[in-house]
């Protein structure tokens, strides 16, 4: 059964656009566009609870700190809060010299007048007027034909020109948007835009902004790119026009649409931080900027403390940022899978401080965004040795011998299969401690004494054997051999390693003993930790023997320490 109607929606993809010799597929992006943030307008109007004036003031300041130079601050004729906000910005001289505020108005006389009122005294301002041009809006919403639609736009353009002339203290920039451009017949979008430009008479020195919004994203990004290139080719005053794009994300492809639109000739991008905005949001300026950054193009915006920006925006909008949101999501620098972790670990091992970033699976150095490596590797049931050793190394300074890591990974895996939960670094350390350092049954080492006689080592061990205290003695050609002799354990020491844990006054020794048990394939590890090197190694031996004992008993085999 198919759910498809034909055509499925009025926003369905256009027939291929006649664009002979289209250029954009062969172009590359070589510089950042002009950025325009509409967080305080498009973003704000899409919130459950629009921002207060104070929140907007703080948001505005944050945007200027990031480096955004054009900020659509309000829809002043639509709400008193927005009107008051514009007044506060101007009256309290909060607008930096290199920042231009922008306001939106519908194409209606009294609303345009009120908008100009809000801007009185501004040093420089962009006045942005729009009317819907797409057939579905002309027919269903406004009941106008093409001529009527153009008349609305032209009247508004005239009113704006006249009002601007009455407030000459402000440097005015005019912006027009044929709303729902992406679903408008291209010839008509051009006709209405030209009609507005005829009124405003922009020049290369005083250009107008023509914004071509994908108000509702309805087609694949290549169609939008074709539309933008077509407009750029046909505009009669291209040199006097800043072409802006304003992609929404209804199909989830706003980023691609914006990037292809840049290839197609757009000069300016309108969007919101982290993709806030009507419905599925406006295009995400952060992702766009950082996509450029990863290509070696300076976006001209500063996201070197991206977490601060993210927390601010979440507070201001009341909307959480998805944990997998590019660059900023809590999980985007986290690898769970074993093969990813392994590759990342190897990448970190060879990555030089100032070299080009080349760590596998990580498109950007988290540090460039002020993020840490702390959560790069997390361990769950998909994880492998790489993740476990990363966490132990980074959080506890503990490097396990390679084969021990393999063994311990199995322990971690079993634990996770049983609990189903992800393991934190503390959880892994706890499991390591419980498995090896606290493997104190049946034998707990209470005290030891070692004497050396030439090649020979004599050891005395005071142990608790299931609560009973016993003194054992043994000798051998080294401390471990002597202790093994004392324990009478039926095992062979296969390898021994020792290293320091921590540094300075708090440093301790950690020792690892690898055993083989007769008739048991493979080896088995123990670990011991102490401020004394000798004690750490004896504890590691006891830990390994205890583990071997537990295993042989569980398997119904003869115990390795039957004689105690
Ligand atoms: O999405 C849109 O078309 C708009 C216009 C007002 C430019 O937000
Ligand atoms: Zn919009």
Q: Given this model, what pLDDT does residue 502 score?
A: 80
What's the topology of domain 35-317?
A: TIM Barrel (3.20.20)
Cβ of 106 less than 6 Å from ligand 1: no
Cβ of 130 less than 6 Å from ligand 1: yes
Task: Round to whole Å and give the CA distance between 445 and 383.
Answer: 35
Asked if residues 267 and 209 have their Cβ atoms less than 8 Å apart, the reply is: no
Compute the average pLDDT of residues 196-200: 98
- pLDDT per position as a tens digit, 389-421: 888 998 999 999 888 988 898 899 889 888 888
Asked if residues 548 and 489 have their Cβ atoms less than 8 Å apart, the reply is: yes
Residue 506 pLDDT > 90: no
CA distances from 203 to 33, 209, 314 (A): 20, 11, 41
Helical (H) or strand (E) element with 497: strand 491-501
Q: How confident is the model at residue 562 (pLDDT cuts 50, 70, 90)?
A: low
What's the topology of domain 338-437?
A: Arc Repressor Mutant (1.10.1220)
Residue 381 pLDDT > 80: no
Q: How confident is the model at residue 324 (pLDDT cuts 50, 70, 90)?
A: very high
Residue 42 alpha carbon to ligand 2 centre in Å: 6
Asked if residues 160 and 208 have their Cβ atoms less than 8 Å apart, the reply is: no
Domain map (residue ranges) of the chain? 35-317, 338-437, 443-554
Alpha helices for 271-337 (secondary structure H): 285-294, 306-317
Quote the pTM value: 0.81
Please tell me the residue having the least CA distance from ligand 1 atom 5.
179
Which of 302, 304, 294, 226 shows the shortest CA–CA distance to 265?
Answer: 226
The per-residue pLDDT of the chain, averaged, comes to: 93
Cβ of 105 less than 6 Å from ligand 1: no
Alpha helices for 438-494 (secondary structure H): 479-487
Under DSSP, the state recorded for 16 is P
Is the Cα torsion angle 481, 485, 489, 491 positive or negative in sign? positive
Asked if residues 142 and 132 have their Cβ atoms less than 8 Å apart, the reply is: yes
Residue with tokens 């006054």: 505
Compute the average pLDDT of residues 176-182: 97
Q: What superfamily does domain 443-554 belong to in CATH? A: Alpha-isopropylmalate synthase LeuA, regulatory domain (3.30.160.270)
Helical (H) or strand (E) element with 211: strand 208-214
End-to-end, the C-alpha distance of the chain in Å comes to 75
Please tell me the residue having the least CA distance from ligand 1 atom 1.
215
Q: Given this model, what pLDDT does residue 563 score?
A: 58
Residue 13 pLDDT > 60: no
Ligand 1 atom, smallest distance to 216 CA = 1
Ligand nearest to the CA of 180: 1
Asked if residues 316 and 60 have their Cβ atoms less than 8 Å apart, the reply is: no
Residue 525 pLDDT > 80: yes
Percent of the chain's residues with pLDDT above 90 = 77
Q: How confident is the model at residue 564 (pLDDT cuts 50, 70, 90)?
A: low
């Amino acid at each position: 059964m198919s759910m498809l109607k034909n055509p499925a929606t009025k926003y369905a993809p256009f027939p291929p656009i006649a664009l002979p010799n289209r250029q954009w597929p062969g172009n590359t992006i070589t510089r950042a566009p002009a950025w325009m943030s509409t967080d305080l307008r498009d973003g704000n109007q899409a919130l459950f609870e629009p921002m207060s004036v104070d929140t907007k003031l703080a948001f505005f300041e944050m945007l200027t700190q990031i480096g955004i130079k054009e900020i659509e601050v309000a829809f002043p004729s639509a709400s008193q809060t927005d009107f008051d906000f514009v007044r506060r910005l101007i009256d309290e001289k909060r607008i930096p010299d290199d920042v231009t505020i922008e306001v939106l108005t519908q194409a209606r006389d009294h609303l345009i007048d009120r908008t100009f009122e809000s801007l009185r005294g501004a040093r420089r301002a962009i006045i942005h007027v729009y009317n819907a041009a797409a057939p579905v809006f002309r027919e269903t919403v406004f009941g106008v034909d093409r001529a009527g639609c153009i008349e609305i736009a032209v009247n508004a353009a005239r009113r704006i020109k006249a009002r601007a002339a009455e407030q000459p203290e402000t440097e005015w920039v005019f912006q027009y948007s044929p709303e729902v451009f992406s679903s408008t017949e291209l010839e008509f979008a051009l006709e209405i835009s030209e009609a507005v430009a005829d009124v405003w008479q922009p020049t290369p020195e005083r250009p107008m902004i023509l914004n071509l919004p994908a108000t509702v994203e309805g087609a694949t990004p290549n169609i939008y790119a074709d539309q933008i290139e077509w407009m750029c080719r046909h505009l009669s005053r291209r040199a006097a026009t800043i072409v802006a794009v304003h992609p929404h994300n209804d199909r989830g492809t706003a980023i691609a649409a914006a990037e292809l639109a840049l290839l197609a000739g757009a000069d300016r991008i309108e969007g919101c931080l982290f993709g806030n905005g009507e419905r599925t949001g406006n295009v995400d300026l952060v992702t766009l900027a950082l996509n450029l950054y990863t290509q070696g193009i300076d976006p001209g915006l500063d996201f070197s403390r991206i977490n601060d920006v993210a927390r601010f925006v979440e507070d201001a909008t009341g909307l959480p940022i998805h944990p997998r949101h590019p660059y900023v999501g809590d999980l985007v620098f986290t690898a769970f899978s074993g093969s990813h972790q392994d590759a990342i670990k190897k990448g970190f091992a060879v990555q030089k401080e100032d070299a080009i970033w080349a760590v596998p699976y990580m498109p950007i150095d988290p540090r460039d965004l002020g993020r840490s490596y702390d959560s790069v590797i997390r361990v769950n049931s998909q994880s492998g040795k790489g993740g476990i050793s990363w966490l132990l190394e980074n959080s506890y300074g503990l490097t396990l011998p390679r084969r021990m890591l393999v063994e311990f990974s199995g322990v971690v895996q079993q634990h996770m299969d049983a609990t189903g939960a992800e393991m934190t670094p503390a959880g892994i350390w706890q499991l390591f401690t419980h498995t090896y350092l606290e493997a104190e049954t049946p034998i707990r080492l209470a005290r030891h004494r070692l004497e050396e006689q030439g090649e020979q080592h004599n050891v005395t061990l005071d142990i608790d054997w299931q609560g009973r205290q016993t003194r054992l003695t043994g000798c051998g050609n080294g401390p471990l051999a002597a202790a093994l002799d004392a324990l009478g354990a039926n095992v062979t020491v296969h390898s021994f390693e020792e290293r320091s844990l921590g540094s300075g006054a708090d440093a301790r020794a950690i020792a690892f003993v690898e055993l083989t048990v007769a008739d048991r394939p493979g080896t088995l590890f123990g670990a011991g930790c102490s401020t004394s090197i000798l004690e750490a190694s004896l504890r590691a031996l006891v830990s390994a023997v205890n583990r071997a004992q537990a295993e042989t008993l569980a398997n119904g085999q003869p115990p390795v320490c039957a004689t105690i």
